[in-house]
Chains A and B, each alone.
Chain A
Amino acid sequence: MRPALFYYVDVSAADPHLDSFEELAMPLFDQLYNFAHWLTHNREEAEDLVQETYAKALKGFSSFELGTNFRAWIYRILRNTFLTSRKGLKVTMTVPLDAEEDGQEVAIERDTPETILFARANQEQLASAMDALPVYFREILLLCEVEEMSYQEIAETLSVPMGTVMSRLSRARKALRDRLRNQLEGTAGATAIVKGTNHGL
């Protein structure tokens, strides 16, 4: 049983600016939890991460400038909290080794069109391929496709330049396609072996 970390503090009495914290933060609760779960792979750790994020965001809300991007601000807090956690420190050991060229885009090259690749994969297989991606690819795909953040918002959340967002996103998509293709080919291979064995019997 984890210790209860919740407490009641009438902070809004000190600063009317804080009245809007709940209004801004609670509509993002489900999305933040979903993102936290994808980062941690674990329900309890995701809850701890979200809880700590809200506590830190509330504490630092007086430094948040109203009218600027609250969503990017609170996602950045969640991500930084994750990266300084024990699990987060482990994943930072696997930072991309190849340089990320700002804004260098390449034409998409693929053997199997996505219409076939993604039609063949069910949701579980796709989720499993996403789960297996390095965290710096997984997070950028989630921010772009699930949270539908603009490149500018992603750049603010990840504290990287826009050019890095574009190149990392492109590499993340390619990594997902490759992983899914390998996964499907592995499954097809396994099925063929089973069929072969059955024929042999």
Chain B
Amino acid sequence: MVCESWKTKLETYLDAELASERMREFDAHVHSCASCAADALDQVQMKRAIQVAGKRFVPSADFRRRVQNSIAKKPQRSFRMAWMLAAAAMVLIVGSLTSAYLAARSGRDRTFSEIADLHVETLASSTPVDVISTDRHTVKPWFQGKIPFAFNLPELQNTEISLLGGRMTYLDQTPGAHLIYDVRKHHISVFVFQERALPASLNASSRAPKTSPFNMETWSQNGLRYFVIGDASPTDINHLANLFKAASS
């Protein structure tokens, strides 16, 4: 093929992603090579066509207004007086509660609270797991390609704990694994995330807050952060946590 070394970089050149010196060299080459100039023209044509076809969907004015209002600092003044008074009172109450709440809760507590929310939200869902299996050799491979890390699931033979399945989850825009176990009809969630992707406020020695309505254990091992949470007894939570620690050591 003519000019193969140039052509491999053509897309990067047209996306203006080459270093400036390389861009200048490419400019000079395209001006002197008919074959590369023709290919560049083709590519530009394609980029333009995608750009035009891609700007296709426009939100309605009503939807824009609704979203704008939802993030606005204060409700609009055009509402009826009664609604305004009620809304104003609500804003004051919720605003001060939010302020107090936000001030009182540290980044670490927020993470633990999010974990508890994820646990409750999943159990309340009509489809709590996306991979339904009691076999760890089925559940573990399901996560391949979905999360950017691998982890081990413990052997549960001769225990009262059984695996129900798993699902993908997100914490602070970080993908992770969520596994659900059953022990004497209590559901326990195990969350696994990459430690480095979590907030800096959560360090290797972080402990679960005692004020949590659930029993929780968390630890860091081999660069992964584990959370075991549920309304099962602290002994059962600790037992499952130890099985995970042993499986990953």
Contact = CB atoms under 8 A, between A and B. Distances in A.
Interface of A: 5-15, 19, 21-22, 25-26, 29-30, 33-34, 37-38, 43, 46-47, 50-51, 54-55, 58, 60, 62-63, 76-77, 80, 83-84, 86, 89, 92, 95, 105-108, 110, 113-115, 117-119, 121, 123, 126-127, 130, 141-142, 144-146, 150-151, 159, 166, 169-170, 173, 176-177
B38 interface: yes
Among B8, B55, B70, B75, find the residue whose CB has the most chain A CB atoms closer than 10 A: B70
A192 to B, nearest CB: 25
Contacts, number: 172
Interface stretch (B92-100, B179-187, B235-243): B92-100
B54 A38 contact: yes
A13 B91 CA distance: 10
Contacts of A14: 95, 98-99, 102-103
A23 B167 CA distance: 36
A1 to B, nearest CB: 14
B58 A114 contact: no
Contacts of B56: 34, 37-38, 127
A51 B69 CA distance: 11
Given A10-B94, A14-B102, 5 more contacts: A33-B57, A92-B146, A105-B11, A107-B10, A159-B148
Is chain A's interface secondary structure helix, strand, loop, or mixed overall? helix
B50 interface: yes
Nearest to B110: A63
Interface bracket on B: 35 or more
A126 B55 CA distance: 12
Contacts of B75: 8
30 contacts: A6-B69, A8-B72, A8-B87, A10-B73, A12-B73, A13-B73, A14-B95, A14-B98, A15-B102, A29-B68, A30-B59, A34-B58, A46-B57, A54-B67, A62-B102, A63-B199, A80-B173, A84-B170, A108-B11, A114-B43, A118-B46, A118-B49, A126-B50, A127-B56, A130-B53, A146-B55, A150-B17, A166-B11, A166-B17, A169-B11
